Homo-oligomer: A and B are copies of this chain.
Amino acid sequence: MYKVGIVGVTGAVGLEFLKVLKDRRFPIKELRVFASERSKGREILWGDERLRVEVPSYENFKGLDLLFFTAGAKVSLEYVPIAVKAGAIVIDNSSAFRMEKDVPLVVPEVNGESIEYPRGIIANPNCSTIQLVMVLYPLHRVAGLKRVVVSTYQAVSGAGLRAIEELKRETRKVLEGEEPTSEVFPHPIAFEALPHIDIFQEYDYTKEEWKIIKETRKILGLPDLRITATAVRIPVIRGHSESVNVEFERELSVEEAREALRRDLSVEHGLNLWIVSDNLLKGAALNAVQIAESLIKS
């Protein structure tokens, strides 16, 4: 039994952590929850227990075996090193440490065996990446990935609880014939598709697109994989979808392809995939808890 903490418990993914830990009967001796100063002292119901929200600090982390961080990269950059110093193993849901060489980036079904974490930190990948590698990995083992083209259809919950509220509020406005205004997203999202997630970076790819590209390469252990991504936010509340075109090195047997997947006729050894996943569960909280479970097993 373990002493476990969640940093960022009041967010969309934080609330899923509470649920997933309970549902999967994670062996918890004590659960402690953390959020920003604003939520300090607030009570959170977890089964029959009432958990009081604390602020993250070295003193408050002391004695914890395991800490899940899901409060964004800025909070992780500041408090993950403190948590490690306080003696906890950290599973970090933010992008802060994902690409660092000595931090493993883990999807248990793909690269979860014998995880090494010299810095005491394990990173949980981006939600779009997790569901992508879940499908690419078994296909890669059979036929060898040659090139991947992915277009995402991402739910607003990936941007947090405020984003869900924004979509609902804007949608009501549009239905009443009024002009919506946006705060969370760069443009109104009600009845719109926005090919703009996070900031624009090198070569006019967005940060979200670079995450998908770089994290997929790292998790699959294919640093030179030819992969390109277009990340799009659509007015869906929960559940990311992805249209994925894959070229393989070798032919997949017709049976293997027909069973679950769609053939791409425009290229030899190709497949078109439509990948759907709950972005808050396998895309975030569930994957992190699965990482913790594989730590316990080993």
A147/B267 in contact, CB under 8 A: yes
A243 to chain B, nearest CB (A): 4
Q: Which residues of B contact A191 (CB under 8 A)?
A: 167, 235-237
Q: A153-B232, A243-B243 are in contact. List 12 more A-B contacts (CB 8 A).
A: A149-B245, A168-B175, A172-B175, A195-B243, A205-B262, A205-B265, A226-B266, A227-B266, A228-B266, A230-B245, A232-B241, A234-B236
The answer to the question of A108 belonging to the interface, with a C-beta cut-off of 8 Å to chain B, is no
Cβ distance A121 to chain B, nearest Cβ, rounded Å: 29
- Residues in chain B near residue A49, CB distance under 8 A: none
Number of interface residues of A (CB under 8 A): 39
Closest CB in chain B relative to A271 CB, distance in Å: 10
Q: Does A192 contact B (CB under 8 A)?
A: yes
- CA of A179 to CA of B46, assembled, Å: 28
For A172, the closest partner residue in chain B by CB is: B175
User: What distance in Å separates the Cβ of A165 from its nearest Cβ neighbour in chain B?
Assistant: 12
A264 contacts chain B at the CB level, 8 A cutoff: yes
Query: Nearest CB to that of A242 among chain B residues?
Result: B151
Number of copies: 2
A31 within 8 A of B: no
Q: Which residues of the other chain, B, contact A137 by a CB distance below 8 angstroms?
A: none
List the B residue with the shortest CB-CB distance to A194.
B241
Q: Known A151-B243, A205-B262, A235-B235; judge A195-B228 contact (CB<8 A).
A: no
Min CB distance, A199 to chain B, in Å? 15
